[in-house]
A and B are shown apart, each in its own frame.
Chain A
Amino acid sequence: MDKPRSFQQIILNLQTYWAAQGCAVLQPYDMEVGAGTFHPATTLRALGSRPWAAAYVQPSRRPTDGRYGENPNRLQHYYQYQVLIKPSPPDLQELYLGSLRAIGIDDALHDIRFVEDDWESPTLGAWGLGWEVWCDGMEVSQFTYFQQVGGHDCRPVSGELTYGLERLAMYVLGVDHVMDMPYNDPDAPIALSYGDVFRQTEAEYSRWNFDIADTDTLLRHFEDAEAEAARILDAPALDPRSGRQIIMAHPAYDQCIKASHIFNLLDARGVISVTQRQAYIGRVRALAKRCADAFVATEAGGARGADESGRGDGDGQAA
């Protein structure tokens, strides 16, 4: 593959590379998330016994990181590239290094290092061991072997790779300010920089995140998402309309994602105290855990004969 000249070329090279390694190239999840890990293709699919291999770009939002588009490398909206393979293949490190070559990082000239960095997500009740990967002293990816998600042991273990795309691309392309980075090919008839695409939105969202977002509304939405998730999971498995057992892990998990993002917004608004923080994180974790419990009871979650086994143990609504 050619040495990339633009942000999008790096994404395309990664897509091509991981497709060639047999991953299903998925599309971004259509909800606001803080990181690629929140995509159900990672969080939920890391659970259960079924093999899985997926790669995708995930737009991610971290409201507290907004800098109005002025900081050379901090953004409230950015992209992660995410790979999840279950069970983790024995040559995952080599596969990963191959992906760096695919985007123009020649390991004969660069110093690539695996530096201890254990990953933990208190909101997802998840943790794993692995590294941050350094290229010439810069962190370019996170490499994790998932051990637990939503309080469940991961068996088999998934290998997760997360690339911070902007930072990685800035390095590969030799750009010092993210807004100066070529988004499409610099020789394209209409060449666009990252700033052409995102400078305006960074400023707008920074202002909204920090000062305008209505905290009362957000607090209410948090409560609503939490209640809705519980309601979804409390519904009996037997669907009277179709007569099938349908556990709704994914719709419930959507509400969990929503609650998590609303929490991040509230945090950016500075209305969550240190003590409250832990309580909110605990509430989101409780949701994530219930969603994980639900997912492993579904067929996709590896439960054998999930369609039949639950039949008849509804709580009377079927009658």
Chain B
Amino acid sequence: MPDLLIELFSEEIPARMQARASADLKRMVTDGLVEAGLTYAHAGGFATPRRLVLALEGLTARSPDTREERKGPKVGAPDKAVEGFARGAGVERAALQTRADKKGEVYFALIERPGRPAAEIVAEVLETTVRGFPWPKSMRWGSGSLTWVRPLHSILCLLHDEAGAETVALEIDGIRAGDSTRGHRFMAPAEFVVTSFEDYTAKLRRAKVMLDPQERADAIRNEMGNLAFAGGLEPIEDPALLSEVAGLVEWPVPLMGRIDEAFLDLPPEVLQTSMREHQKFFSLRAKSGQITGFVTVANRETADDGATILAGNLKVLAARLSDAKFFWENDLRVARDEKMAPWTAALERVTFHAKLGTQAERIARITALAREIAPQIGADADPAEEAAGIAKRDLASEMVYEFPELQGLMGRYYAEAAGHSAEIAAVAQEHYQPLGPSDDVPSAPLSVAVALADKIDMLTGFWAIEEKPTGSKDPYALRRAALGVIRLVLENRLRLPLMPLIEGRAGDAGDLLSFFHDRLKVYLREQGVRHDVIDACLAMPGTDDLARLVARARALSDFLGTEDGGNLLQGFKRAANILAQAEQKDGVEYSFGADRKFAEKSEETALFDALDAAEPAISEALEREDFEAAMRQLAALRAPIDAFFEAVQINAESQIMRRNRLNLLSRIRGLCLNVADLTRIEG
């Protein structure tokens, strides 16, 4: 059983695409081989900046011979039909066999396909894979027409076993597959021949290439730990950066440097962001927690042990941090001395959206909303207005212009510098949250008020100008904003009816409320609440109060999970069906006046008793919005209802009795529908 080694050697592949690409190569080639009848024992995919590699172990040497019998026309069928059948099956007419069938003699074709050597199949599959590779972005180069992520230089394609190695014959757009590759671009650029995967990885290592991205990442992490430890520092974990950096080097050489003291006054987030985003440096912190050092990862060893490289990197860092320090100091001056006034003026000139006006106008809308929301959630209107007014000022600061990802955080620093209380300043940072389904939800009332106002303004604004999300298109992240509102309300247990906030602001406020409901369904479904349960609660009044809606849905969901709940639902459905039929037939609505004096059987009387007891208890529980208690009361009805149906014939001979019983069923229906619209529950 041979092993297969494929290497696609190109100019530098973007780091962010490598993991996906090596997985795609593995998937496409193995799928193709299996489809063609080959099997394999194990497959491994690898990537470096310059190569995508697939190693397959235990590939079958040939695809199996196959034999297929195909049934054709009856003997005596027109010649044309018989000829056509033979041609379609790929056999000579003379080779057709005849066999007895139920309807007489029938032609059969015996199609035998001999297996094919693995090399032939590999060549076809690899060509198809290369030509149809799903790069996120690909390009042409030179005069060719092949597309790849960057120019593809060589293909290594080798089948090898104990007996030796065979180069798979294959040529794609003038690139002929061979058995050789090259090492590190700078340290070992010479070409060399390989005979197996083992030989390949060993020779690559000698040629200063670590093939496995995980090994490169581990090497970086370990060496970074050692360097930091020796310097009395500790690396700040950054898995995303680690995987990116591992994709930028074939031979990682971490180098540690210290940040010039002149820059240590900068906020740690600024240091970290600047080093990470611009330089792809890892941050190191001292015992005090202060970031004082960094690790950069070079792609080569040098005679001076990286001294020149580190000096160059330090220089670039100094230039970057000088910029950052310049921004920071300018911004602080504006914050401290001018109380951020120039930024307010600047935001009057920044368009938020052509149809929604400037940032300043948006801030004014958020401020008004925050004032309205604050008293409803336990915050005062005045500080909410103050906080909303300054929460986005930093958008005009130089630092945020340079590092948009620091928005909010800088706002907090600057608000404090401008003399606002810590509580108000925190709003600048926290009002953007939650940014996603797993992001923290703020709990400080002022932050919650402004966070809600921010998101509700986004939603009502874009609803008003009819730019709602459609399908996969949601350029303004409105789904995320709606989920943010939902999480802010629910996780802070807020009673905040939404309609008064969105009506008059959103255009079609009802449509926006349904959008909230759709997001809520997704949110609750993830927590195991069925969609029909939510629909049953959405049919009740006051659904803009999300807390009430969810409390009802959770209680109903729990209730239906119990045996009593399930049975009560059946009883309700039975009652509702009988009523519906009778009402349709009689053309009247049975909705009042069941009279106990017409009760004939004890089960009937018992049901009267049970309903008499349950009705006030349920309305009292609903009054308190204690949905669980209401459901418990409903559960208590299960036995009397079941017994009633067991003992009593609804469609009694006497019309009086019949009407009375139907009216009794109507009480059951009405009572249940007060709790939730159970007609929407499935099953």
What's the nearest-Cβ distance from chain B to residue A174, in Å? 9
Residue of A111, A157, A159 with most partner-chain B CB within 10 A: A111
Residue of B298, B312, B316, B350 with most partner-chain A CB within 10 A: B312
Chain A residues 12 to 55 lying within 8 A of chain B, measured CB to CB, are: none
CA separation between A115 and B423, bound complex, in Å?
A: 42
Q: Is B143 an interface residue (CB 8 A)?
A: yes
Q: List 20 A-B contacts (CB under 8 A).
A: A72-B319, A72-B322, A90-B151, A93-B11, A108-B186, A109-B303, A109-B309, A111-B299, A112-B299, A116-B16, A129-B137, A129-B150, A136-B309, A145-B139, A145-B150, A155-B140, A157-B140, A157-B142, A159-B141, A275-B354
By a CB distance below 8 angstroms, the chain B residues around A111 are 298-300, 309, 312
**Contact call B308/A136, Cβ cutoff below 8 A:** yes
Q: Is A273 an interface residue (CB 8 A)?
A: yes
**Contact call B312/A135, Cβ cutoff below 8 A:** yes
CA separation between A145 and B148, bound complex, in Å?
A: 12
**Looking at chain B's contact residues, is the secondary structure mostly helix, strand, loop, or mixed?**
loop
CA separation between A296 and B312, bound complex, in Å?
A: 45
CA separation between A90 and B143, bound complex, in Å?
A: 10
Residue of B11, B280, B311, B317 with most partner-chain A CB within 10 A: B11
Residue of B139, B317, B349 with most partner-chain A CB within 10 A: B139
Q: Is B232 an interface residue (CB 8 A)?
A: no
Q: Is A184 an interface residue (CB 8 A)?
A: no
What's the nearest-Cβ distance from chain B to residue A56, in Å? 22
By a CB distance below 8 angstroms, the chain B residues around A109 are 302-304, 308-309
Residue from A110, A115, A131, A159 within 8 A of B308 (CB atoms)? A110
- A98-121: CB near B (< 8 Å → 1, else 0) gives 000000000111111111101000
**Contact call B304/A90, Cβ cutoff below 8 A:** no
What's the nearest-Cβ distance from chain A to residue B115, in Å? 38
Q: Is B351 an interface residue (CB 8 A)?
A: yes
What's the nearest-Cβ distance from chain A to residue B73, in Å? 52
Q: Is A8 an interface residue (CB 8 A)?
A: no
Q: Is B258 an interface residue (CB 8 A)?
A: no
CA separation between A130 and B11, bound complex, in Å?
A: 9
Q: Is A182 an interface residue (CB 8 A)?
A: no
Chain B residues 3 to 25 lying within 8 A of chain A, measured CB to CB, are: 11-12, 14-16
Q: Given contacts A110-B308, A116-B15, could you give 4 more A-B pairs where the C-beta distance is less than 8 Å?
A: A138-B312, A138-B316, A155-B143, A159-B141
Given A129-B150, A135-B312, residue A116 in contact with residue B14 (CB < 8 A): yes
Which A-B residue pairs are the 10 nearest by beta carbons?
Answer: A136-B312, A116-B14, A114-B12, A137-B313, A156-B143, A111-B298, A274-B351, A129-B139, A87-B142, A138-B316
CA separation between A218 and B453, bound complex, in Å?
A: 42
Q: Is B367 an interface residue (CB 8 A)?
A: no
Interface of B with A (CB < 8 Å)? 11-12, 14-16, 49, 137-143, 149-151, 153, 186, 248-249, 279-280, 296, 298-300, 302-304, 308-309, 311-313, 315-317, 319, 322, 349-351, 354
Interface residues on A, range: 35 or more
**Contact call B11/A114, Cβ cutoff below 8 A:** yes
Q: Which residue of A lies closest to B304 (CB)?
A: A109
By a CB distance below 8 angstroms, the chain A residues around B150 are 129-130, 145
CA separation between A135 and B137, bound complex, in Å?
A: 25
Residue from A118, A137, A154, A159 within 8 A of B279 (CB atoms)? A137
By a CB distance below 8 angstroms, the chain A residues around B312 are 110-111, 135-138, 171
What's the nearest-Cβ distance from chain A to residue B660, in Å? 71
- A140-160: CB near B (< 8 Å → 1, else 0) gives 000001010000001111010
CA separation between A167 and B277, bound complex, in Å?
A: 20
Residue from A116, A137, A147 within 8 A of B316 (CB atoms)? A137
Q: Is A89 an interface residue (CB 8 A)?
A: yes
**Contact call A274/B309, Cβ cutoff below 8 A:** no
CA separation between A214 and B448, bound complex, in Å?
A: 48
By a CB distance below 8 angstroms, the chain A residues around B279 are 137
What's the nearest-Cβ distance from chain B to residue A186, in Å? 20
**Contact call B296/A137, Cβ cutoff below 8 A:** yes
**Contact call B299/A113, Cβ cutoff below 8 A:** yes
**Contact call A147/B142, Cβ cutoff below 8 A:** no
CA separation between A109 and B141, bound complex, in Å?
A: 30
**Contact call A113/B248, Cβ cutoff below 8 A:** yes
What's the nearest-Cβ distance from chain B to residue A75, in Å? 14
Q: Is A73 an interface residue (CB 8 A)?
A: yes
By a CB distance below 8 angstroms, the chain A residues around B137 are 118, 129
Q: Which residue of A lies closest to B322 (CB)?
A: A72
CA separation between A37 and B351, bound complex, in Å?
A: 30
Q: Is A88 an interface residue (CB 8 A)?
A: yes
**Contact call A136/B316, Cβ cutoff below 8 A:** yes
What's the nearest-Cβ distance from chain A to residue B297, in Å? 9
Q: Which residue of B lies closest to A276 (CB)?
A: B351
CA separation between A149 and B499, bound complex, in Å?
A: 51
Q: Is A301 an interface residue (CB 8 A)?
A: no
By a CB distance below 8 angstroms, the chain A residues around B316 are 136-138
Q: Is A125 an interface residue (CB 8 A)?
A: no
**Contact call A115/B313, Cβ cutoff below 8 A:** no
- A202-235: CB near B (< 8 Å → 1, else 0) gives 0000000000000000000000000000000000
**Contact call B313/A136, Cβ cutoff below 8 A:** yes
**Contact call B248/A115, Cβ cutoff below 8 A:** yes
CA separation between A231 and B47, bound complex, in Å?
A: 54
What's the nearest-Cβ distance from chain B to residue A305, in Å? 22
By a CB distance below 8 angstroms, the chain B residues around A63 are none
Given A115-B248, A136-B309, residue A90 in contact with residue B319 (CB < 8 A): no
CA separation between A110 and B303, bound complex, in Å?
A: 10
Given A109-B309, A128-B139, A138-B316, residue A90 in contact with residue B350 (CB < 8 A): no
**Contact call B298/A89, Cβ cutoff below 8 A:** no
By a CB distance below 8 angstroms, the chain A residues around B140 are 145, 147, 154-155, 157
Q: Which residue of B lies closest to A91 (CB)?
A: B153
Q: Which residue of B lies closest to A137 (CB)?
A: B313
By a CB distance below 8 angstroms, the chain B residues around A156 are 142-143
**Contact call A110/B151, Cβ cutoff below 8 A:** no
By a CB distance below 8 angstroms, the chain B residues around A147 are 139-140
What's the nearest-Cβ distance from chain B to residue A175, in Å? 10
**Contact call B16/A137, Cβ cutoff below 8 A:** no
**Contact call A108/B302, Cβ cutoff below 8 A:** yes
**Contact call A131/B12, Cβ cutoff below 8 A:** yes
